[in-house]
Every structure is written in C-alpha cells, then in structure tokens.
C-alpha cells in the first residue's frame, strides 16, 4: 500500500513537473511572439477598428467636429442606387475571373505535367503574367484594347473581320468581359502552379493500376486526377474568390469603373465614394460591408474544411 501511494505521488509530481516545463516553454514562446503580435495588432486590427468607428460618424465639413450617427452611413450606402449595381458587378467579376483562372490553371497544369521538349519554357510563360506587376499588365492590355491602335482590332482588320473591331473598354456590352479576360490572364498562372504541385503528389502507381485495368486517359482524368486535386481546387478557389473580389488595379486602370458604371465593382465604388464624392465615412461603411462579405466567404470555407476534416477522422477511427 505504501509503495502504491509513493508511486502515485511520484506520478503526480512528474506530471506537475511536465506541466510546469510546458508552461515555461510556452511562456518563452509567447514572449518571443509578442513583438510580432503587437505588430499585427497595430498594422491590421487597429486600422480595422478605426475604420469601423469612423464609419459611425459624420463630418459635414472639415472645419466642424464629427457627429455620431450610428449606422446611418451603412443605411445610406445600402439605399444608394449605385450600390446594387456595384454588388452585381462584383459578383460577375469575381465568378468570371476566378472560375476562368481555375479552368485555365487545370488545363496548363495538366499540359506542363507531361514531358515534352521546351516544357520549362511553357511553364515560365504560364507563370509570367502572375509575377508581372498588376499595373504593368493592365496598362499593356489597355493599349491592346485601343480602338484605333490596339493589337486586337488591328488583327481583326488584318484577317478580314474589321466589322468586329470596336472600343472594347468603352462599350457597355463588352467592357466587363474585356476586364474579366484581363483578370483571368493575370492570375491563371497561380492556379497552374498550385495544380501542378498537386499533380506531382499523386502516386504514379494509381495510374499504372488503372492502365492495367484498362482505363483510358479520360477515365484516369475523371477517376483519379480530378478527385485527388479536389482539396487543392477548393482551397485555391476560395482564396481566389477572396482575392478577386478585392482586386482593384485592373478595373481602375482599364475602365475606372465605366462606361456608365458597367465595371464598377465594390472596391471601385468605395474609391469613387471616397475620392470623387469626398464622402469618406460612407466609403468606410462600404469597405466594412465588403469586408463582411469576404469574411463570410472565409467562414464558409473553414466550416466546410473543418467538416471534411472531422469526417475523415471519424472514418479513420471507424476503420
């Protein structure tokens, strides 16, 4: 009995010592992380908090003090007849660009995963638009879309399709499509890189077994490749939706939100409200609405990801 009590006391003391050691190590780690955490708070959370607070005030003129008005700026933004158009344009722009980038990314990842002469050059050309500064790419495409001097219209005239030449960025019917094509061109290289990395993790034994069973290339693609790329596709698509909904450079340089607000997305709407109409508080309210939309997409992603992780863990435990 005495030996059991001594053993129990020794186990308790050992466990207590381990907890103290873990606490000490964690405390040291937190101390080292403190400067980084303070930087994050100052750089990220303070501006967000300041923006939220400022959006609840109104300053009629720069010489008068700010007046607290609560959610009135948000009500003004939501009642603005331009706001629904900006939301619709943001939806069209985000969906069009993101899914165009995903489709092209998968195609070029599959292409450059094969062995052929000059593969390194093709890979470099695929990545090039993504690594170029966005402003450089947008200015280049703006010249290409020029009605008189642009490459696109001159090519159309050269092949006898001059009747199709037009002001691509100045036409309400074509401006959004032209901007979406630029957005796809700018970012599809990122998806190609992600999918290529995913392809290189798929065991070749799966393809060999499928070929032995008589599966053709199409069956291998839809039965092995695409299902195993699904985690990469989901993560990349959610990140792309968030990035694209906030993308500003291309729209600003190509169209400035025009013509007739045909390409005015929410970031462009916020910019025009702040710097063209000088309604800073309403612009901040619009920014907060956009931030809530983005956070909703992020929360949805984590919800789906956590459910899938929990489902896999349950399957492994059941097995």
Q: Domain extents for the chain? A: 2-54, 82-318
Residue 27: what pLDDT? 73
More confident residue, 299 or 3: 299
Q: Residue 24 burial by CB count (10 A; 0-12/13-18/19+): exposed, middle or buried?
A: exposed
Q: Residue 196 burial by CB count (10 A; 0-12/13-18/19+): exposed, middle or buried?
A: buried
- The stretch 21-42 carries a mean pLDDT of 73
Residue 312 pLDDT level (bands cut at 50, 70, 90)? low
- The stretch 253-273 carries a mean pLDDT of 93
In this structure, the chain runs to a length of: 319
pLDDT at residue 235 is higher than 60: yes
Alpha helices in 203-257 (DSSP H): 204-212, 217-220, 226-228, 230-246, 249-254
Residue 106: what pLDDT? 94
Residue 93: what pLDDT? 96
Residue 69 pLDDT level (bands cut at 50, 70, 90)? confident
SS (H, E, C) 141-159: HHHHCCCCCCHHHHHHHHC
Residue 313: what pLDDT? 62
Lowest-confidence range among 137-146, 187-196, 234-243?
234-243
Which residue's structure tokens are 């003129």?
A: 61
pLDDT in tens, 148-207: 989 999 999 999 998 999 999 999 999 999 999 999 999 999 999 999 999 999 998 998
Superfamily designation of domain 82-318: MetI-like (1.10.3720.10)
More confident residue, 193 or 19: 193
- The stretch 83-101 carries a mean pLDDT of 95
pLDDT at residue 31 is higher than 90: no
pLDDT in tens, 271-281: 999 898 888 88
pLDDT at residue 9 is higher than 70: no
pLDDT at residue 107 is higher than 60: yes
Question: CA 146, 150, 154 angle in degrees (round to 5)?
Answer: 130
Residue 310 pLDDT level (bands cut at 50, 70, 90)? low
Lowest-confidence range among 4-13, 15-24, 97-106, 140-149?
4-13
Task: Report the predicted TM-score, pTM, of the whole model to 2 decimal places.
Answer: 0.82
What does the mean pLDDT of the chain come to?
A: 85
Q: Which residues pair with 1 in a beta bridge?
A: none
Residue 82 pLDDT level (bands cut at 50, 70, 90)? very high
Which residue's structure tokens are 């607290």?
A: 68
Cα–Cα distance measured from residue 33 to residue 27, given in angstroms and rounded to the nearest whole number: 10
pLDDT at residue 139 is higher than 70: yes
pLDDT at residue 66 is higher than 60: yes
pLDDT at residue 3 is higher than 60: no
More confident residue, 64 or 247: 247
Residue 61: what pLDDT? 64
Pairing relation of β-strands 67-68 and 57-58? antiparallel
Residue 2: what pLDDT? 52
pLDDT in tens, 243-257: 999 889 999 999 999
- The stretch 261-267 carries a mean pLDDT of 94
pLDDT at residue 109 is higher than 80: yes
* Distance set, CA 251 to CA 86, 99, 246, 262 (Å): 12, 18, 11, 11
């Amino acid at each position: 009995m005495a030996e059991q009590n001594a053993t129990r006391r020794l186990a308790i003391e050992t466990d207590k010592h381990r907890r103290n050691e873990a606490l000490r190590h964690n405390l040291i780690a937190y101390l080292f992380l403190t400067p980084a955490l303070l930087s994050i708070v100052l750089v990220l959370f303070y501006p967000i908090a300041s923006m939220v607070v400022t959006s609840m005030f109104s300053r009629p003129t720069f010489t008068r003090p700010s007046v607290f008005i609560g959610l009135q700026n948000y009500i003004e933004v939501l009642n603005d007849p331009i706001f629904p158009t900006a939301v619709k344009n943001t939806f069209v722009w985000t969906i069009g660009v993101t899914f165009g980038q995903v489709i092209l990314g998968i195609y070029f990842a599959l292409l450059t995963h094969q062995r052929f002469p000059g593969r390194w050059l093709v890979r470099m050309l695929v990545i090039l638009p993504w690594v170029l500064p966005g402003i450089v790419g947008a200015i280049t495409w703006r010249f290409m879309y020029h009605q008189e001097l642009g490459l696109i219209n001159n090519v159309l005239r050269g092949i006898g399709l001059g009747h199709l030449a037009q002001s691509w960025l100045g036409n309400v019917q074509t401006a959004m499509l032209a901007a979406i094509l630029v957005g796809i061109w700018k970012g599809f290289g990122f998806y190609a890189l992600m999918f290529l990395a995913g392809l290189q993790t798929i065991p070749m034994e799966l393809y060999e077994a499928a070929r032995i069973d008589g599966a053709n290339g199409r069956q291998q693609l839809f039965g092995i490749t695409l299902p195993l790329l699904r985690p990469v596709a989901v993560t990349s698509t959610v990140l792309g939706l968030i990035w694209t909904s906030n993308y500003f450079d291309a729209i600003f340089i190509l169209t400035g939100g025009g013509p007739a607000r045909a390409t005015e997305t929410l970031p462009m709407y916020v910019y025009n409200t702040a710097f063209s109409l000088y309604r800073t508080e309403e612009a901040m309210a619009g920014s907060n609405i956009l931030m809530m939309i983005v956070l909703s997409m992020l929360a949805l992603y984590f919800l789906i990801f956590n459910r899938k992780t929990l489902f896999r863990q349950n399957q492994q435990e059941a097995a």
